[in-house]
Amino acid sequence: MRDEINLRAYGKINLGLDVTGKRPDGYHEVRMVMQNVNLYDNIKIRTRRAPGIGVRTNLPFLPTGPDNLVCRAAKLLMDEFGIEEGISISLYKKIPVAAGMAGGSSDAAAVLVGMNRMFRLGLSKRMLMERGVKLGADVPYCIMRGTALAEGIGERLTPLPSMPECLLLLAKPPVSVSTRFVYGNLKADSLPFHPDIDGILEGLEKQDLAGIASCMGNVLETVTIPAHPGIGEIKARMKEEGALAALMSGSGPTVFGIFTEREAALRAEARIREDRLARQIYTVRPFYVDGRSRRLRNGCMESKGK
């Protein structure tokens, strides 16, 4: 058993998000293209003398009790494997919260992976994914990571080729959006458009960034943008400054723009700030699990130190 482990939990964007129907149990059937980005939360798990789970975080508004997903993830494995050792989890969040970037799900995924290693539970990735779905539909993807087609309620995953190198400008307007509200207000039977998910898959296969950009779309914009028009304005600024495409991620409100030139991304960022459309703005790159680019090679899930 190890006393301590350091982890990175990466955020994601959706290159495409389609809803294809509603199940009798109320869940929506989706088709989504998921892509990790190089923006991550740092998580440290340590054993401690006191029993139970302690959580500390840099964001005062986040729960530190059983409602935090890191706590739920740890408890799930501690209960199943009868782990009596106490642990403390420190969570340093950089992924915007309630933003459509699966921050909480990714934290939960990292804790499952970390506990499995720390306590040598011997669970395979698949076994972790089966447990992860109990915590949230996006958790299996966050365990798998990389680029994937997610179907069913988001838990049926097919790995895809990574998106080509580019710059991703992320801007989160100062509003929080509940995923439940967005799906609850979606008119799944009368959507005005469907994104070309198959076109995105073809673009990934051919490594054609412009092709991917031209097929992107997110049906959840039909709910979130009317409720928060700033999202539409951010998309417009990004496109005016040269983004190949700009789209809301997940249920929002974070918008990402795909850029090939840093100057254009900087101009878009400046305008978004000037117009006070967002304060949380990041320029990142796609995160490649295989450590494709040299600068990102250290970006494995278990990080060395902080």
Which residues are near ligand ATP by CB under 6 A?
A: 62-63, 67-70, 91, 97-105, 107, 138, 179, 250-251
Q: Which is nearer to ligand ATP, 135 or 264 (CB)?
A: 135
DSSP string, 260-300: S-HHHHHHHHHHHHHTTS-SEEEEE-B--TT--SGGGTT--
Shortest Cβ contact with ligand ATP: which residue? 104
DSSP string, 1-16: --SEEEEEEEEEEEEE
Q: Which is nearer to ligand ATP, 209 or 234 (CB)?
A: 234
Sheet holding 255-259, edge to edge: 245-248, 255-259, 167-172, 280-284
Q: Which is nearer to ligand ATP, 22 or 267 (CB)?
A: 22
Integer Cα distance of 231 and 175 in angstroms? 10
Q: Which is nearer to ligand ATP, 104 or 257 (CB)?
A: 104
User: Which amino acid type is present at position 46?
Assistant: R
Helix (H) or strand (E) holding 193: none
Q: Are 47 and 3 in contact (CB under 8 A)?
A: yes
Q: Are 230 and 173 in contact (CB under 8 A)?
A: yes
Integer Cα distance of 96 and 257 in angstroms? 16
Rounded to a whole number of angstroms, the minimum distance from the CB of residue 143 to ligand ATP is: 14
Rg (CA), the chain: 19
Q: Which is nearer to ligand ATP, 67 or 302 (CB)?
A: 67
Catalytic residue among 18, 107, 138, 196: 138
Asked about 22 being catalytic, the answer comes back as: no
Asked about 79 being catalytic, the answer comes back as: no
How far is CA 153 from each of CA 106, 145, 245, rounded to the nearest angstrom? 17, 17, 26
Rounded to a whole number of angstroms, the minimum distance from the CB of residue 274 to ligand ATP is: 26
Helix (H) or strand (E) holding 146: none
Integer Cα distance of 84 and 133 in angstroms? 24
Rounded to a whole number of angstroms, the minimum distance from the CB of residue 79 to ligand ATP is: 18
Rounded to a whole number of angstroms, the minimum distance from the CB of residue 237 to ligand ATP is: 22
Q: Which is nearer to ligand ATP, 137 or 264 (CB)?
A: 137
Rounded to a whole number of angstroms, the minimum distance from the CB of residue 169 to ligand ATP is: 18
H helices then E strands: how many in the chain?
A: 10, 11
Rounded to a whole number of angstroms, the minimum distance from the CB of residue 173 to ligand ATP is: 13
**Residue 205 Rama label (left phi>0; alpha psi -120 to 50; beta):** alpha
Integer Cα distance of 173 and 175 in angstroms? 6
CB atoms within 10 A of CB 66: 10
- Residues serving a catalytic function are 12, 138
